Chain A
Amino acid sequence: MTTLHTSLAERLTRSDFVQIATLFFALLVFVLLATWPSGERANNSWFILTQSRMVALAFLALSYGAGTSNKSKAEQRNTVFALLVLVILSLPLELASYAASYPTTPFLWSFGLTLLDTFALFGIGLALGYLLTLIRLRGFISIAVIGALVGLFSIDQLLNFNLFNPLTTLHTVSPFHSGTMSVIAMLTLWQFIRKPSAARA
């Protein structure tokens, strides 16, 4: 446990992650600045903040997933936990906008979904990275990540069903989306905990 905590802290202090975290918080503060109303106007800040946060986390999860697919399991694990730390540490900003916006969606749903989707999307990123390595197109990883993100968001529109797009499900409780993402998250977790010998076999 101590090792995990220390290695996670070490991962968080690395320059790439510090820069990402800075940009992430800057984005949230900017969204608050842009959407927080004055006077007695309706406060809709949560609806925009939570979607911006989710898009940013989805992009980061897919990118880091694909980017660390050729790294060690410990590195992958530390990276995904670092992303989950970002989710937890941005909680006060989301809670502030949620408190004032009074949406109907339960807060635990949106918070839990953000954690779940971040973890699951990291798993999808890992799969994407493995696939690109397999077909020797790892150089196209940036384009592939953006393509995967757009694809995941638009596949629901094509199917007319809430399965992969976290933006539509953030404001409406969707058991289908959470079910799908839970399965992907379980597969990702299994990927982390399986023994190397089993992987080789």
Chain B
Amino acid sequence: MVRQTARAVNLRILWFGCLLSLLLLSSVGLAQDLELELGFNNTLVADSWNPITLTRRDQPAQTLILSIDQGTLREGETLVTYRQDLSAANGLDVFEDDVYIPAWRRFSWRIENAERVFASGSIERREVNAKPLTLLVSARPELYLGSFGEEARILELPFSSLPERVAAYDGIETLLIDGTAPAPTLESISSAAVSGVSILLLEDLPESHAELNLLAPELRQRLGAGWIARTSSEGVKATLSMLTPLETHSFTSALITSDLHQRPPNVSQTYVVGAAGVYALATLLLLRFFGSAGLLTSFVLAGLASFGAWTWLRPSSPQLSQTRTLLVNADLAYVKRVESLFTLPDVSLALNMNAHPTDVRTYTQRGDNLELTLPRYNEVVLEHRPELTGETLRLEGQTLRNLTDTIMTNVYVKGLGNQLDLEAGGRLELSPGEEPELSDTYEALLALLPDGTALAQAGDTTHVALPELIFLSETP
């Protein structure tokens, strides 16, 4: 009897154990079925565009929501919301995007649908760091840690696949590839370089990395706003000191000049008051001296005056928008675009763009729509997500080539001065010119660009061609 009871207890323990194992396995499975990566290896760079990757397996339709409170203790909550509706995932589904992450006070995320929340999490405020990252794509990252300054924010990516989007590299300053980790794609390296990253390819890369050498025929070359350089493992530090990265974040403030903030001017007070006075006088005279006919005529006059006042004084559009685009060219072009939006009435806008306001205010990025509310007579400056495009302006030694079908004016070369206008598809031999009075945009940009850079204007777009750089020294 006693033996039978002990056996029953053992069986129960066995059952309980099996049940527990099943539960554990199912929970691990659930975690693997839904995985969110914010930034590179869950490391975010504040005040920059960061990549996000959501991996789902066999999931129903869901919504990914990031809630970022960028308010202050004194001014309270200022919420930035990112919402992305995701269709049902049959099998594996990987969603990738780039999100502007401002410095946060509170940061939380969740994946939900109407029925329930599938996963959620938060990021501590102490993790806010706006310092750009240095990425080491290597299986032996410890070899290079000493090559970057003590201040460098280094992230090791032994097996990570790199995104193929320019905006994903907004918070990256250096990328080192030594060939010991799986080879990244040409597109990802091009995107990173165009974004302004200094890319270091170690010499003697294995065969699997051979195609990366296509991007680096010379020891060092520009690509977009960044660099691609070949070096030895001992020469990383020296090579980095030779590359002068462009401050792509500062391009935004260079584009936001006073002429971007234009409000519709009011019609002169003299004209308005004068017209009102004449109308009032005419009406009073009609009423006083012309009896019934005067009354009827005054109604007609009121109708005509109303129509005239409306067409004369009503601004043509309730919102005014101005865009400034900057293209930084070196084989490919890095595109930075800012847009000022001024509204006359209170308005809730849903703009088809991926952008963020340059000041602290509440907004929602819902899919490809930016939603924000503006009070009357208010302006917001939006910075669009950086992009990549084909080359538009090329410097070939002493020749400048316009690769677009639009005429470029205000051609200026830093160190040479003013040049002639550049016809569509035309060439221009550079020569010393006058030093004209430069626009605010040019002044601000020239402070950020190296000597020999050519600038040209086509409408609201500023084209920049970076100079080729000839290195006389050998590999450090």
Closest B residue to A93 using CB positions: B276
Are A32 and B309 closer than 8 Å at their CB atoms? no
Are B302 and A40 closer than 8 Å at their CB atoms? no
Q: Identify which of A25, A37, A43, A85 contacts B280 (C-beta below 8 A).
A: A25
A-contacting 9-mer, from B49-57, B141-149, B259-267, B412-420: B259-267
| A8 sits at the interface (CB 8 A) | yes
Are B306 and A95 closer than 8 Å at their CB atoms? yes
Measured between beta carbons, the chain A residues less than 8 angstroms from B308 are 92
| B219 sits at the interface (CB 8 A) | no
Measured between beta carbons, the chain A residues less than 8 angstroms from B315 are 100, 102
| B292 sits at the interface (CB 8 A) | yes
One digit per residue, 1 when the CB lies within 8 angstroms of any chain B CB and 0 when it does not, for chain A 18-31 equals 10011001101100
Number of chain B residues close to chain A: CB under 8 A: 42
Are B263 and A18 closer than 8 Å at their CB atoms? no
Measured between beta carbons, the chain B residues less than 8 angstroms from A13 are 287-289, 291
Are A18 and B288 closer than 8 Å at their CB atoms? yes
Interface size grouping (class) on chain A = 35 or more
One digit per residue, 1 when the CB lies within 8 angstroms of any chain B CB and 0 when it does not, for chain A 29-48 equals 10011001111111100000
One digit per residue, 1 when the CB lies within 8 angstroms of any chain A CB and 0 when it does not, for chain B 305-343 equals 110111011110010000000000000000000000000
- What separation, in Å, do the CA atoms of A96 and B275 have in the docked complex? 10
Measured between beta carbons, the chain B residues less than 8 angstroms from A9 are 291-292, 294-295
Measured between beta carbons, the chain A residues less than 8 angstroms from B299 are 88-89
- What separation, in Å, do the CA atoms of A89 and B288 have in the docked complex? 14
Are A91 and B288 closer than 8 Å at their CB atoms? no
Measured between beta carbons, the chain B residues less than 8 angstroms from A38 are 266, 268-269
Are B302 and A88 closer than 8 Å at their CB atoms? yes
Measured between beta carbons, the chain A residues less than 8 angstroms from B309 are 92-93, 95-96, 99
Are B273 and A32 closer than 8 Å at their CB atoms? yes
Measured between beta carbons, the chain A residues less than 8 angstroms from B289 are 13
Are B284 and A96 closer than 8 Å at their CB atoms? no
Are B276 and A32 closer than 8 Å at their CB atoms? yes
Within 92-109 of A, Cβ neighbours of B (below 8 Å) are at 92-93, 95-96, 99-100, 102-104
Known A-B contacts A100-B266, A100-B314; A91 and B276 likewise in contact (beta carbons under 8 Å) = no
Are A92 and B295 closer than 8 Å at their CB atoms? no
Are A5 and B292 closer than 8 Å at their CB atoms? yes
Q: Identify which of A10, A92, A103 contacts B345 (C-beta below 8 A).
A: A103
- What separation, in Å, do the CA atoms of A8 and B295 have in the docked complex? 9
Are B302 and A36 closer than 8 Å at their CB atoms? no
State how many angstroms separate the Cβ of A69 from the closest Cβ of chain B.
Answer: 25
Measured between beta carbons, the chain B residues less than 8 angstroms from A21 are 284, 287
Closest A residue to B264 using CB positions: A40
Measured between beta carbons, the chain A residues less than 8 angstroms from B267 are 100
Are A12 and B287 closer than 8 Å at their CB atoms? yes
Are A29 and B276 closer than 8 Å at their CB atoms? yes
| B283 sits at the interface (CB 8 A) | yes
Chain A to chain B contacts (Cβ below 8 Å), 30 pairs: A8-B295, A9-B291, A10-B291, A13-B289, A13-B291, A25-B280, A26-B280, A28-B280, A29-B273, A32-B276, A33-B269, A36-B266, A36-B269, A36-B273, A37-B269, A38-B266, A39-B265, A39-B266, A40-B264, A40-B265, A92-B308, A93-B279, A93-B309, A95-B309, A96-B276, A99-B312, A100-B266, A102-B318, A103-B345, A104-B376
**8 nearest interchain CB pairs?**
A92-B305, A102-B344, A25-B280, A96-B309, A42-B377, A40-B263, A99-B314, A99-B313
Chain A residues engaging chain B, CB cutoff 8 angstroms: 5-6, 8-10, 12-13, 18, 21-22, 25-26, 28-29, 32-33, 36-43, 85, 88-89, 91-93, 95-96, 99-100, 102-104
